[in-house]
Chains A and B, each alone.
Chain A
Amino acid sequence: MVRSVAKLIKIWLMIASRAAQSQLLSRWAGVIFLAGKIVRFFLFFVFLFMVLSSSKTLAGYNREQVIFFFLVFNLVDIMVQFLYRGVYQFRPSVVAGNYDIDLLKPLPSFFRPVFGWADILDFITLIPLWFYFLWFQDLRISSLI
């Protein structure tokens, strides 16, 4: 069991590395995607601040709780997208008949459709987000002490 999980992790690392190389081939596209992710995060953040500045609470939650909720949502969302981006490619793969090639490989049949593409751009976005999340938590804890 442990050996087969270790084998799958090793394969996933290889797949993720190739996916990253493929994505970074076009740096311009990478920059555009990153810019889009930042703009989306920033605009939602500004919107929440505007709502909270006029109402003080949002459905009973105060500003800190809303930011915490928003950050947790973003972390979970981006982590899921980072790991499971390949799911989007499953349908075209089945329709085109390319999934047959995956089925011939000595891997669990769900492995390639689920873990077949790790999104390095989501991983890059995760780093500052984790820093902000931890900083925000530290700030909250310090204010409570």
Chain B
Amino acid sequence: MKKYFQLAKLTFQEYFVYRLNFVLWRFRSFVFFLTLLLFWLAIYGDRIALLGYERAKMLAYVVGVAFLRSFVLGSRSAGLAGQIRSGELTKILLCPIGMFSFWLTRDAVDKLLNLFFTFIEIGIAVSFLRIPFYFPQRAETYLFFALLLVLALFLYFFISFFLSAFAFWTEEIWATRWLFGIIFLEFFAGAYFPIDVLPIWLQRVINLTPFPYLVFFPIKIWLEQLSMAVAIKGIFICFCWLILFYWLSRSLWQKGAKNYGAFGG
């Protein structure tokens, strides 16, 4: 446990090596959040409800996206692909640490740091723009939300790990990650807009993927727009996806690690 604590400490220090980089990264996230917020405020104008969402609920959706982007979609495991290609992975393989634990520790630091700054940024935007925020009325909503949040966090970690592990076999890992880990992920997760504003046929296609359980479903639970039965069903499906991606990433990692070779200095 001590070594993982040490690793967390080192990861934390890494962020402050290039401080301007970190500040610009946070600024970029803040601008994204603010743009999305102002976009929806402009669309709503004087309207109270649109596309099946009350104004307060849509703004809560946008704030929820900012929070889940930091907590669920913030990850360092994308770096695994680069390490495999460059041969840097050898260093970690020689250390007495588990690969999943290594990246989970780094992810945890990344999430905590991003979360801390996201709360400040959201606080500033919400207080300046005087946004009415929606809080759930039922106690079980908080429980379901927390449960799905934990599952989503691990699901994203294993999806990301799975995509990175392809680097054992292909040079073009960035293309795959860009399509599945950015384009499909952000649209299908509902990180730009709620999925249920799209046509029904497209919603059906999107619901066949694991992505909606990362952002869209947790926020829908928070907004209490799902019945208890649908919420439990969503949590169960997310759990199944998690098991599948855990198995896929583990198998891919084991196969890849057996083939792995790095030569030279």
Chains A and B belong together in one complex: yes
A145 within 8 A of B: no
Asked if A46 contacts B202 (CB within 8 A), the reply is yes
The residues in B between 200 and 230 inclusive whose CB is less than 8 angstroms from any CB of A are 202
Which of the residues B50, B192, B198, B202 comes within 8 Å of A55, measured between beta carbons? B50
Asked if A50 contacts B187 (CB within 8 A), the reply is no
Question: What's the least CB distance linking B163 to chain A, in Å?
Answer: 12
Which of the residues A29, A30, A33, A50 comes within 8 Å of B198, measured between beta carbons? A50
Interface of A: prevailing SS:
helix
B176 within 8 A of A: yes
Asked if B197 contacts A50 (CB within 8 A), the reply is yes
Which of the residues B47, B176, B183, B198 comes within 8 Å of A47, measured between beta carbons? B198
A105 within 8 A of B: no
Q: Which residues of the partner chain A approach B172 to less than 8 Å between Cβ atoms?
A: 26, 28-29, 32
A58 within 8 A of B: yes
Asked if B175 contacts A50 (CB within 8 A), the reply is no
A-B interface contact total, Cβ < 8 Å: 55
B42 within 8 A of A: yes
Asked if B50 contacts A54 (CB within 8 A), the reply is yes
Question: What's the least CB distance linking A5 to chain B, in Å?
Answer: 33
Q: Which one of A35-43, A77-85, A108-116, A134-142 contacts B?
A: A35-43
Task: Evaluate whether A54 and B176 lie within 8 angstroms (CB atoms) in the complex, with A39-B183, A40-B183 already known.
Answer: no
Which of the residues B43, B51, B174, B187 comes within 8 Å of A40, measured between beta carbons? B187
Q: Which residues of the partner chain A approach B182 to less than 8 Å between Cβ atoms?
A: 36
A51 within 8 A of B: yes
B146 within 8 A of A: no
Asked if A32 contacts B175 (CB within 8 A), the reply is yes
B150 within 8 A of A: no
Q: Which residues of the partner chain A approach B174 to less than 8 Å between Cβ atoms?
A: 29
A144 within 8 A of B: no
- Nearest B residue to A32 via CB reads B175
Q: Which residues of the partner chain A approach B187 to less than 8 Å between Cβ atoms?
A: 39-40, 43
A-B contacts, 21 listed (Cβ < 8 Å): A26-B171, A28-B172, A29-B172, A30-B175, A32-B176, A36-B179, A36-B182, A39-B187, A40-B183, A46-B199, A47-B193, A47-B197, A47-B198, A50-B51, A50-B198, A51-B51, A54-B50, A54-B51, A55-B50, A59-B42, A59-B43
User: Which B residues are within 8 Å of any A CB, using their own CB?
Assistant: 42-43, 45, 47, 50-51, 171-172, 174-176, 178-179, 182-184, 187, 192-193, 197-199, 202
